């Protein structure tokens, strides 16, 4: 047996005799396993919810189409499910899916109110988030690394073995490098094995697994190098541990929180509730305004129907849906301001993440898993495109045909078609959704 393998084997045997290390490794494996199982259960529940809602949505819309012959009533009572299914890696990085809605039921009514109304849920639980693999890796794994490596040198100095080990070893690298390698690989295996089993069960793409593994290794190497370097000259293990934990608190909690506060103080934007209120006030006020005022505002953006806006009675569905459109137009400037400011916040949060490795890791892994704020914005843009197609589908009937052609309903746009035809990377060129800096200390 050559010298280096012999050293690795010796360090492996030495580590197995240290019970506290074995306990840490077992805890690491259990925590990692719990996080991926929790993520798999959450993703499975979301997929089951989507399947159940799709079935109910189709039945509900079929009933409405069979019941109503009036196009206005049909458009009013027909709901359309939109959803953003979790990716095959979402179980490991749930990201913003516990903050931003991933399903909506959309109607022909004004859209802004439907967009900014989130699912009803416990706000405190949403803020706390869920324990997923990214949280374990970014927030808890550094503590495990610190516990394993902070006393690498100090314990030997305290026991009086340091000088003897250095003198008898062929090289410092063979001695300390072998010990670092054995402990690092042990932690890495305990963290990654549950993840790899879960990616196999989920059918995760090889590229996603490879990128995730790369970021995990780089992140753990960073904390290992920091811990070994910090304790190299120290003789007091508790002092080393205290200093490293201070750095961990700074990078994991303080910088993200201060960055969040600074960005929110710097970038001001309307709230989603303000947009909803503006849109609803415009819709409600339309009942008391002259109908010509509404129709003039509508044909300003839809000149195609300028020759079909005359009304023969006090109420017509084309007028009703026209002021729904005008309600969205009234709130459009606020909505655009909200999105532009949110995009800027997300960009600034990216700069903050360069000073916080845990936050940087979270951003990269949620991007790989397609669960970040960019994915949430893309889903929102898909909803807007689908609603636009839905309006364009109904307008010819509303403005020119009093009776609906049931055979023509087969051409009704579907959200699935919008998603399938969605241009790759379109979301990257638009304004951002509502991304914030969410501290990983959830």
For residue 320, CA distances in Å to 23, 294, 415 come to 67, 9, 24
136-171, pLDDT tens digit by residue?
999 999 999 998 888 776 655 555 454 445 555 555
What pLDDT is recorded for position 146?
A: 93
Q: How large is the average pLDDT for residues 311-326?
A: 92
Q: How large is the average pLDDT for residues 376-396?
A: 94
Q: Taking 60 as the threshold, does the pLDDT of residue 299 lie above it?
A: yes
Question: Residue 418: exposed, middle, or buried by beta-carbon count in 10 A (0-12, 13-18, 19+)?
Answer: buried
Task: Provide the CB-side half-sphere exposure for 242 (13 A, CA).
Answer: 5
DSSP symbols for 273-324: HHHHHHHHHHHHHHTTS-HHHHHHHHHTT-GGGGGG---SSS--HHHHHHHH
8 band by pLDDT with thresholds 50, 70 and 90: low
The 8-class DSSP code of residue 406 comes to: G
Q: Taking 50 as the threshold, does the pLDDT of residue 427 lie above it?
A: no
94-113, pLDDT tens digit by residue?
998 888 889 999 999 999 98
Task: Provide the CB-side half-sphere exposure for 16 (13 A, CA).
Answer: 6
Please say whether the beta carbons of 222 and 141 come within 8 A: no
430 band by pLDDT with thresholds 50, 70 and 90: very low
168-220, pLDDT tens digit by residue?
555 566 666 778 888 899 999 999 999 999 999 999 999 999 999 999 999 99
Alpha-carbon distance of 164 to 19, in angstroms, equals 24
How confident is the prediction for the chain on average, in pLDDT? 86
Q: How large is the average pLDDT for residues 277-300?
A: 93
| Three-class secondary structure of residue 83 per DSSP | strand
Q: What is the pTM of this model?
A: 0.87
Please say whether the beta carbons of 149 and 414 come within 8 A: no
Please say whether the beta carbons of 436 and 349 come within 8 A: yes
């Amino acid at each position: 047996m050559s010298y280096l393998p012999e050293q690795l084997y010796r360090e492996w045997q030495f580590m197995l005799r240290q019970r506290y290390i074995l306990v840490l490794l077992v805890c690491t494996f259990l925590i990692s396993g719990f996080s991926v199982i929790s993520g798999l259960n959450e993703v499975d529940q979301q997929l089951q919810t989507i399947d159940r809602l799709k079935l109910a949505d189709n039945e509900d819309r079929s009933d409405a189409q069979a019941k109503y012959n009036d196009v206005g009533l049909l458009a009013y009572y027909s709901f359309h499910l939109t959803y953003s299914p979790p990716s095959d890696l979402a179980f490991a990085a749930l990201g913003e899916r516990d903050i931003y809605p991933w399903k909506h039921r959309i109607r022909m009514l004004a859209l802004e109110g439907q967009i900014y109304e989130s699912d009803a849920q416990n706000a405190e639980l949403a803020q706390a988030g869920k324990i997923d693999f990214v949280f374990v890796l970014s927030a808890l794994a550094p503590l495990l690394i610190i516990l394993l490596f902070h006393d690498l040198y100090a314990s030997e100095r305290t026991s009086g073995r340091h000088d003897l080990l250095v003198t008898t070893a062929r090289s410092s690298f063979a001695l300390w490098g072998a010990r670092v390698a054995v402990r690092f690989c042990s932690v890495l295996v305990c963290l990654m094995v549950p993840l790899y089993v879960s990616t196999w069960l989920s059918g995760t793409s090889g590229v996603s697994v490879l990128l995730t593994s790369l970021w995990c290794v780089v992140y753990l190497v960073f904390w290992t190098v920091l811990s070994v370097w910090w304790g190299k000259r120290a003789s007091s293990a508790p002092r080393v541990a205290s200093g490293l934990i201070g750095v961990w608190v700074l990078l994991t909690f303080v910088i993200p929180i201060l960055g969040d506060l600074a960005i929110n103080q710097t970038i001001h934007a309307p709230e989603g509730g303000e947009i909803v209120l503006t849109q609803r006030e415009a819709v409600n006020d339309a009942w008391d305004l002259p109908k010509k005022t509404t129709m003039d505002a509508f044909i300003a953006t839809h000149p195609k129907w300028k020759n079909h806006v005359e009304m023969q009675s006090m109420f017509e569905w084309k007028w009703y849906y026209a002021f729904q459109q005008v309600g969205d137009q009234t709130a459009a400037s606020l909505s655009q301001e909200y999105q532009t400011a949110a995009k800027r916040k997300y960009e600034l949060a990216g700069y903050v993440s360069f000073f916080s490795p845990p936050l940087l890791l979270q951003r990269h892994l949620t991007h790989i898993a397609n669960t970040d704020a960019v994915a949430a914005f893309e889903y929102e843009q898909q909803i807007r495109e689908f609603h636009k197609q839905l309006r364009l589908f109904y307008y010819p009937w509303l403005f020119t045909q009093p009776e609906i052609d049931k055979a023509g309903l087969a051409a009704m746009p579907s959200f699935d078609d919008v998603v399938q035809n969605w241009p790759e990377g379109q979301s990257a060129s638009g304004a951002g959704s509502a991304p914030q800096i969410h501290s990983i200390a959830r």
